Structure 1
Amino acid sequence: MKTCVFYARPAALSLALAAAFPAFSQSPAASQLSETVVTASRVATPVTDVIADVSIIDREILERAGQSSLRDILAQQPGIQMGSNGSYRSNSSIFLRGASNSQTIVLIDGVRVGSATSGGASFENLPLARIERIEILRGAASALYGPDAVGGVIQIFTREPAEGLALSASVGFGSAGQRQADALVRGSAGAIGYSLGVSREKARGISSVSNPTSTSFNPDADGFTSTSVDAKLTAKINREHALTLSFLHSDTEYQFDGLPSPNPLGLTKLTSDARAKPKLNNATVRWDAQWLPQWKSTLTAGTSDEDSVSEYYRISDGRFGGSSRFNTGRKQLTWQNDITLDKDVLSLMLEDRSEAVDSSTSYTIKQRNVRSALASYALNRERWNALAVIRNDKNSQFGSFNNWALSAGYRLIDGLRAVASVGTSFQAPTFNQLYFPGFGNPALVPQRNRATELGLKYQQGNVALGAVAYHNDIQGFIIPSTNVQSSLAVLRGVTLSADVKSGATSYSLSYDYADPRSYSSVPASNDLRLVRIAQNVLNARVTHRMGDVSVFGELKLSSNREDAKVVGVGRDTLPGYGVLNTGVSWKVQKDVTLLARINNLTDTQYMLANGFSVPGRNLFASVTWAM
């Protein structure tokens, strides 16, 4: 095994990327200028007119991912870092612009998902095969999406119907007993469209804990199985009205190293077989209505049930040794009206959302409701555009909160725009932060923040370049590891990105400098870097097509990060690392494609969370049939 350490000064990397950008600008004309983004403003907007800092992960990228998980795909995007508690599927955290996992909102087909106890979504339980597209909105977005959107929003769209009839199936095998299969049927008949898919994944896995001194360490392999089903039905009632019904079910079981509490069998770290069983059920009904040429409304009703169950068994005889349960049920009703005024759009929205906890742990309060009202105005002119948003959220526990945002973009020259934004957000404490026995503090109050960002965007032909600097002050920041409410946290950083297509070769490059810190009146807790977040991260991806064959490479370089010690108090420094993935896709016949990829080609040893393993070099190959 090898360890790679990567250190870089932000100024040096910035200059390097800036020097590279002019060479990219020689690429030919674009084919994607008509692409639209919904998440950036809640209204479909051409990507060339979007003010916010957004990324799109399309189906082509997802198909090239092979055995990689959603957390791996997201971690390749600008502004996103990841923490993982071991093996191929395990508890994962996403840090968007340095914000904690609970400070990023995750939506599936417009409906919010995630745990009300921990505050974050279970990324390990969201299957790539069932996803059509992902949009990532970076930056404080509570004015658009309500509480908790401090770092941003990740919106996942499930598979869509196709024209006529489309069938596909794939099967794959890889290292550590990895097996994967999925099937999909999509189509349309007259006014009806449909999509139905199923997938199954399995692996023997690796030991999830790497440090033998950990109280949970068990050297056995921790495997996983995952089954998922999604369905979508669309009906065009007439030219003005359409209905969409969508459903996603995902059921995962993965092993981890841990002990039950209480522990009636007296299990030890070497005799305990711990199994996590996350489950997700997400259902949505959407009614799109064009009441007048200038007035469109969308009514969305959805439910999301996210279960988090852990069970413990004795390895020798399989005897049951205890369990825990942390389940969340959400209901959401959203009515959005978009009124077109010449080139401008006025949006008015009402929303009612509830979340309830069903847990084996006793919580003083188990549910809350949030009622929201939003008004936004998108101003579009020849050389500049702007978006103004105001929102009120009435939280049944903490009262009424107002948030606002103002952003603008100005076209300096053809293809080059200057963009800027300022806005506020707030985040209510999670049920764990408030009421978990021995940890919770019911005196905690919501965190309030103000965020600003300034950037340049260039999009011309097949070239898209971006540079964004951001600063986010969070008053009353709740430190995740200690549950202490500090006086302030500051999330600041710079993101540089480039996406270029030159002939048969596509390039994607991003660099992030992040310096999130918390400040407190207690000297020992003052001016601390937030844990598990590196200051410097470079992501690069190159794809080259040679007729029916495509070869690709993916590179991640990360500087060091800090995390809590495995044993005792204080912090350890986790070394920087470099990871290289490579692969090839070959369209053997019109309907048959072979994929082979190697992740972590150099077998680099590194950690995303102190004491936890990550996979070493692993191979995967699959065959896909699509008609």
Structure 2
Amino acid sequence: MNKPILFSVLMATATWQTATAQDATTDSTYRQFNLGEVVVTGTRTPKFLKDTPIQTRVISAKEIARLDATNVQDLLQQELPSVEFSYAMNQQTHLNFSGFGGQGVLFLVDGERLAGETMDDVDFTRLSMDNVERIEIVKGAASALYGSNATGGVINIITKNSQKPLTLNVNARYAKHNEQRYGAAFGLNGKHWNNMLTANLNSTDNYNVHSAESPVTRIIATVYGDKTMNLKDQLVWSPNSNLHLTGRAGYFFRETVRSADQPERYRDFSGGLRMDWNLSEWDNVQASYAFDQYDKSDFQRITRLDIRDYSNVQNTIRWLYNHSFESGDVLTIGSDYMHDYLYNTNLEGEVRKQDLWDVFAQYDWRITDKWEAVGAVRYDYFSDGNDTHVTPKLNVCYKPRRNLALRAGYGMGFRAPTLKEKYYNFNMSGIWIVEGNVNLKSEVSHNVNLSAEYTKGHYNFTASVYYNKVKNKLATSAPYFKNADDKLPYLPYANLDNYSVCGGEIGAQAKWNNGFGARLTYAYTKEQLAKDKDGNTINNQYIPAREHALNARVDFDRQLTKTYGLNIALQGRVLSGVENVEYKDYYDVSKGTISVEYPAYTIWKLSVVQRVGKAVKVNVALDNLFGYKPKYYYLNSPITDGVNLQIGMSIDIDKIF
């Protein structure tokens, strides 16, 4: 398929929302493993998954439905062995992704960044799995086109467009701790337009967990649930086959009750406009405006006042130009501008603003039918501190055979210090005062990766290795007392030296004609701990990456009769133990540190999905099948307290009639 036709495929469903390319290849091998699917994250231009020079992991809509995940956190843990989520000190969720924390992993929705953070991570409860077409994952700094926060990788959640004249789905699930999930999606599709409206409500009660006696550091006694609401609407108007205009709007709300008199509230308001225009057979232009505002507040039940103490507002303008050559080469040029506004009562001066601007260029060179190279360079400017960076990348793909792809790449990544890291001053629950540092330098990383993918008949094999070297890593340093009479120590943000992470991943999957399938993926991660300017290893409040991790799945999927289909899946993950140096008493750091052991553990899930007729699906699952409970519920322990029975139903009302 030549490039102009490929761009037409992309534009037909809006740039960041491409559908599976049914005519990608006549080889059933590719169709079996979704290698004919169009992906866009690695290069910002459409590429078939089997052809992309940048190794990309895709989680399809079918896999998302089978896993029945509520949000992106649930999904990634089941699908990627190198991912683990733990708690920060106030039970906000923290991500470790192949040795990188949440601030080093860029989350996108249809290519757009998210405002706000909670303890250095995006609010993962915002990222529900309703109406998701697929998720594209690029590890490391393989793509230089995304700038700050993409040193550890890019995770792009791509939503669906309405493809039928009318679609209407309602779904619900009930689970342990009074977990309730309700969702609905309503789509309309006309000759020149389509609209998709989605809504979901989730809630989980607070519950208590119990540890053994004599813990060596702080433990969790109560796990706090929450209530969330997520509303999204997207309208696409296509006056002709070459022009597509998209408008979107969203609202998110979450409430967490740690104190009955003063629950915490989190809100997000988002919207945007986008234009996709095929100027000619060879030229395509994309332009967009995005707005995202993430707020935090405390609701005082007695006075009925909702007092906001945090707001992050991002206004972003973007344009992208693609030119295809007859040889199959593609030139991409683009630029982004973002105005970043941060209000926080713990900031010096409470309000900080900055402007971010970038320009980038990429050339996709089809050297021969077997060789392809993608080179790119990006320039970024941050007005706060007049910080500038140039980051290059180069990725090469060699296909000696149609079903074998060998890839190699180098990417320079960087992460500029956030306004919070520069100007924060916050009393962390009487433990220490988190202190900003105006002298922070940008974090710069060098990523090298090699990978191979081989597909034959019913089998697909992948292998990859990578090395990341990080200079001036941004993190919190060791706490210290400024003055002898200080009651609390200060925990400053600092640049750390000598941090690197290397690892690899091997995977094998199979799909047979009798309905059985299997997948096994093993990940190895090795971190070299960062040190401060005095050469001391820094205490890490978050759990390090586990050295060994394995995900396994076996499933059976068959349409047994015209009106009844069945999917049975057993899926699990095994993680090795790890040790972390933590404080004996976070409320008195003078007691020193201690090595905390987090033992190896395994969690499995057995699920049964029954398809009744064309419209009804009934899901029954036993999560944490073998009832794993940690001996001590430390902050970084998995918060599991036995078997969790989950029962759900999904009804496509439009298919009933």
Asked if the contact 1:517–1:527 (Cα under 8 Å) also holds between the matched residues in 2, the reply is no
1:265 corresponds to which residue? Answer: none
Asked if the contact 1:142–1:150 (Cα under 8 Å) also holds between the matched residues in 2, the reply is no
1:531 and 2:531 equivalent?
no
Asked if the contact 1:543–1:553 (Cα under 8 Å) also holds between the matched residues in 2, the reply is yes
Separation of aligned partners in 1, 2:628 and 2:75: 19
1:136 corresponds to which residue? Answer: 137
1:410 corresponds to which residue? Answer: 398
1:609 corresponds to which residue? Answer: 635
2:10 corresponds to which residue? Answer: none
Match among 460, 484, 493 for residue 494 of structure 2 = 484
1:73-110 Cα offsets, whole Å, 9 max, x none, are: 112333642223299x9521222221111011111122
Gaps of 5+ in 2: 1-27, 426-432, 479-492
1:392 corresponds to which residue? Answer: 379
Asked if the contact 1:86–1:208 (Cα under 8 Å) also holds between the matched residues in 2, the reply is no
1:331 corresponds to which residue? Answer: 315
Asked if the contact 2:505–2:524 (Cα under 8 Å) also holds between the matched residues in 1, the reply is yes
Deviation at 1:211, TM superposition (A): 8.6
1:462-482 Cα offsets, whole Å, 9 max, x none, are: 533211111111111123465
Letter in 2 for 1:562: E
Which range is displaced more, 53-62 or 334-343? 53-62
Separation of aligned partners in 1, 2:232 and 2:599: 40
1:22 corresponds to which residue? Answer: none
Deviation at 1:293, TM superposition (A): 0.8
The equivalences for 1:303-314 within 5 A come to 303-310=291-298
Match among 557, 567, 570 for residue 553 of structure 1 = 570
Which range is displaced more, 390-399 or 522-531? 522-531
Match among 557, 562, 583 for residue 579 of structure 2 = 562
Separation of aligned partners in 2, 1:560 and 1:467: 24
1:84 corresponds to which residue? Answer: 86
Q: 1:506 to 1:323 in 2, by over 3 A?
A: farther
Deviation at 1:460, TM superposition (A): 4.1
The equivalences for 1:42-57 within 5 A come to 42-57=44-59
Deviation at 1:114, TM superposition (A): 3.7
1:373 and 2:359 equivalent?
yes
Deviation at 1:312, TM superposition (A): 7.3
SS of 2:257's partner is strand
Asked if the contact 1:450–1:473 (Cα under 8 Å) also holds between the matched residues in 2, the reply is yes
Q: 1:363 to 1:371 in 2, by over 3 A?
A: same
Match among 552, 560, 567 for residue 540 of structure 1 = 552
2:123 corresponds to which residue? Answer: 122
Separation of aligned partners in 2, 1:529 and 1:118: 11
Asked if the contact 1:226–1:251 (Cα under 8 Å) also holds between the matched residues in 2, the reply is yes
Asked if the contact 1:28–1:502 (Cα under 8 Å) also holds between the matched residues in 2, the reply is no
2:256 corresponds to which residue? Answer: 254
Q: 1:615 to 1:173 in 2, by over 3 A?
A: same
Deviation at 1:578, TM superposition (A): 0.3
Letter in 2 for 1:514: T
The equivalences for 1:24-423 within 5 A come to 30-31=31-32, 32-66=34-68, 68-78=70-80, 80-85=82-87, 91-115=92-116, 118-141=119-142, 143-207=144-208, 219=221, 222-256=224-258, 275-310=263-298, 325-342=309-326, 343-364=328-349, 366-380=352-366, 381-398=368-385, 399-423=387-411
Asked if the contact 2:88–2:94 (Cα under 8 Å) also holds between the matched residues in 1, the reply is no
Give the length in aligned residue pairs: 582
Asked if the contact 1:599–1:618 (Cα under 8 Å) also holds between the matched residues in 2, the reply is yes
2:602 corresponds to which residue? Answer: 578
Q: 1:150 to 1:386 in 2, by over 3 A?
A: same
Asked if the contact 1:90–1:254 (Cα under 8 Å) also holds between the matched residues in 2, the reply is no
Asked if the contact 1:448–1:476 (Cα under 8 Å) also holds between the matched residues in 2, the reply is yes
Task: Using structure 1 for the length normalisation, give the TM-score.
Answer: 0.86
- Larger relative CO (CA 8 A, sep 6+): 1 or 2? 1
Deviation at 1:68, TM superposition (A): 4.2
Match among 440, 446, 459 for residue 444 of structure 1 = 440
1:312-357 Cα offsets, whole Å, 9 max, x none, are: 77xxxx6889977332111111100010012111000011112111
Letter in 1 for 2:264: A
1:367-408 Cα offsets, whole Å, 9 max, x none, are: 221111110011123001111001101111242210000010
Q: 1:611 to 1:501 in 2, by over 3 A?
A: closer
Separation of aligned partners in 2, 1:133 and 1:505: 22
Deviation at 1:529, TM superposition (A): 12
Separation of aligned partners in 2, 1:593 and 1:248: 27
Asked if the contact 1:82–1:608 (Cα under 8 Å) also holds between the matched residues in 2, the reply is no
Separation of aligned partners in 1, 2:245 and 2:308: 39
Q: 1:367 to 1:615 in 2, by over 3 A?
A: farther
Question: How well do the aligned residues superpose, as a CA RMSD in angstroms?
Answer: 3.0
Separation of aligned partners in 2, 1:105 and 1:442: 23
